[in-house]
Chain A
Amino acid sequence: MTSFSAKHKPLPLVFNVLSECRTTKARVGKMVLPHGQVDTPVFMPVGTQGTLKGMLPEQLEKLGLQIMLANTYHLGTRPGPDVLKKAGGLHKFMNWNGALLTDSGGFQMVSLLKLAEITEEGVKFQSLNQQKAEVMLTPEHSIEIQNAIGADIIMQTTRWLDRCLKSHANPETQSIFPIVQGTLYEDLRVISANDHIKRDVNGYAIGGLSGGESKDDFWKVVHLCTDILPKDKPRYLMGVGFAVDLVVCCALGVDMFDCVFPTRTARFGCALIMTGQVNLKKKKYAKDFNPIDKDCTCNTCQKYTRAYLHGVVTSYPIACHLLTEHNLAFQLRLMKMIRDSIHENTFPKFVADFMLNLHPDKDYPTWIQNSLKAVNIELL
């Protein structure tokens, strides 16, 4: 348990583990941030440009969303740190009163800009704006943008961590999480993780695992990292958000996740359900007068049939809003089910039921069998 050390110095993050699963490494926690509390394990949807796929913050609050992610690189380009500073930070600019987390900006550089040149000084890249100017994003610049955005939690890679911690302007309102890297080399991950835990930070991110690595390698790295990272601080697995990955990684002891998938797939007419996805574009839904998911309490499932949604998906922006709302509600409901079952000490059964529901023929992929076995869950 963390406690307030100095009475007059507010902490930007207080994390308390409320329950721990007796079988796996899963735990339920509460993170207190400058913009509110966050129940963990938590899924954070991605609001790249200071907005979440047409949803109003009023709707997000109603859904019970506590935290979302914004992208440093995009916001640093447009509207830019000057406008954000004048606006009084991203919270005010976008009218979001809940918590915010920003990435380091580094990931986008690698994924968006093949021509990016990474030197010890910083990352040189072509800006996304029309001028096509070449911009150097130094660690100091990245932290300056993240300070202007004013997110509750900000990210930084190890390579520049010390430079960032030094230039960080708001240590009392913004926490920096270092990112444990090392791709799939276990020894490098161990070195990186051990290096981080020596530093005075409020939480840790596990990066570099949302790419194309095999699932067999993926879970082992997560398992290794959560073994090393201290138990009293939140652990954030970057870029992971498929339902099955969330369930497994919660069992491995991860507390925070983010992923563009639930909101991106909504745009293409896909609704998430516990057994996978409903592609509403398919002709077979034209006369299906059921909701997407009869167990879902979201507005979309309360008011609309699959038949209606089938007729409007990909034709009108409102269809994207309706599916986004459902997909967010789905992610939030799944995380709540995970937290509740950990609390009630029924998490192993929840995981086994979830996997059986997904694979009724019991043809479980080996990575699921192995990863869950590593935390003592026997599949049904």
Chain B
Amino acid sequence: MKFCIRNPQKRAPRLGILKNIEGRTNIEIETPVVLLHTQGGHIPHVTHEVFKLVSKEPQILQIPLVSMHNFQETMEYYNGTISEFIGNKDSLTCLTLQDPSNLTKQGHHVKEKVPIWTKNGKVLYDSEMYMNIVESFKPDMYYLLSDGDTNKTSAPKRISKAVEHTIIFNNQCLERHKKSNILKKAFVMAPIAGGYCLKSREKCIQAILKNTNELGGFLIDGLHNNGPEVEFLPFEEVRDVVEYVIKSVPQEKLCSVQGCWNPVNVLKLVQQGIDMFDTSYCRILTERSAAMIFPIDNTEEADSFEINLRQSKYVDDFTPIMFSCQCLACSKYSRGYIHHLLTVQELLAPVLIMIHNIHHYLRFFKKIRECIQNNTLSDLENRISEQYKNHQEKVLSAKTEEEPRRTYPRNDVGDVE
């Protein structure tokens, strides 16, 4: 797999293509791209069969290792790739360590090991164990192991540990990668740690740049600890770090972030030059029974940024989630029906909401690429920022009258008991 920039004369925002994909030379993926966030090998609530009703275009599935760790031993005995194993051999896969939709528990670090929190508790991964699983999964893309356990409030000691660990992991994993026949064609990306300290970021980047030939791209890691709170991260907080990393890594490499960034921050990150995101934002919305309806085209009309279908006003609203949306949920089902499914706690409610949210988010990314092409990304950003701001104000003022904003008692909302 190869990453090519289509408008190299400009650092950001930019358009790119992932092509020459092993065994799928007929497929090209355009960037900025959004990976389909999965858990246990599926988009939450949406089977691969149902996803075919949402989109037939080629997609990259983001496979968080933490949700697949229980298959570690099974995969040693399995001959195929992870995409075959999860029942979707036509899709591309990108293996990553943590699940961006769930808050990652902090701490519990051990020298040269990184903790992940599986459904059966803590598991410590070192470079060897990690690369064993990468080899057995045979993903199309993967990230090297990293210590991304930092956020805005991290102490300097934690940040320097994260950098130190990440440099060791990067080197160990790359050594192994170079020797691996199975992973010869895999697209490798290096996470860059260092929290909000530019000096630490610099240290991490300098160490990684020695291996730049082996790398297809980078991940700006350690900006947050994942989970629903990322939606409300003020962009001003992350701007300097993102700007610094993008400026410091080779231009021709793919640059990615992970997490539930809201659409406004996605646009700001694209403006900075980020090429790759994920759909974990769709999951956190779906888990709170919300559907995004912000207008993507300027011909579209919408009564809000997002709607919460649990609200009783939708009980006899037989209109679709969004009139201008062509998705399966909007073309065949009403807000009233989804409201009913939510009130009786039926499994189909999150299925329909997720179908719409994913469809809407994919359409949003398509629009982003179109706007970069037409030089109108700032217009889109202004429009969506305005709508988002109005929505947040409405939410804040309603907060006192209505039920408080849903909080997350656990970080595995929506999982079956």
Contacts and interface: CB of A to CB of B under 8 A. Distances in A.
Interface of A: 49-51, 53-59, 74, 78-79, 82-83, 86-87, 93-95, 286-287, 289, 299, 303-305, 307-308, 311-312, 314-322
A278 B88 CA distance: 23
A310 to B, nearest CB: 8
B388 interface: no
A51 B40 CA distance: 25
Given A50-B340, A56-B50, A307-B74, A317 B87 contact: no
Given A79-B340, A87-B336, A319 B348 contact: no
Contact of A78 (B41, B328, B340): B340
B45 A318 contact: yes
Interface in B31-64: 39-42, 44-50, 53
B347 A303 contact: no
Contact of A316 (B44, B77, B78, B336): B44
7 cross-chain pairs, A with B, having the tightest CB-CB distances, nearest first:
A54-B347, A303-B87, A318-B42, A51-B348, A49-B344, A312-B40, A304-B87
13 contacts: A50-B337, A50-B340, A59-B49, A83-B340, A289-B78, A303-B88, A308-B87, A311-B70, A314-B416, A317-B45, A317-B414, A318-B42, A322-B47
Interface string B398-417: 00000000000000001111
A317 B350 contact: yes
B119 interface: yes
B332 A308 contact: no
Nearest to B73: A286
B86 A308 contact: yes
B372 to A, nearest CB: 34
Interface string B323-346: 000001000111011001101101
B416 A54 contact: no
B40 A318 contact: yes
Nearest to A303: B87
B244 interface: no
Interface string B66-101: 000011011001100000011110000000000000
Nearest to B77: A287
B85 A305 contact: yes
Nearest to A308: B85
A321 B354 CA distance: 15
A58 B328 contact: yes
A133 B314 CA distance: 23
B416 A319 contact: yes
B27 interface: no
Contacts of B86: 308
B416 A51 contact: no
Contact of A320 (B87, B344, B416): B416
A167 to B, nearest CB: 25
Indicate the member of B49, B73, B88, B336 with the most A CB atoms within 10 Å.
B49
Nearest to A86: B316
Contacts of B168: none
Interface in B281-340: 315-316, 318, 328, 332-334, 336-337, 340
B351 interface: yes
Contacts of A308: 41, 71, 85-87
Nearest to B87: A303
A315 B53 contact: no
Given A49-B346, A299-B49, A321-B47, A316 B42 contact: yes
Nearest to B71: A311
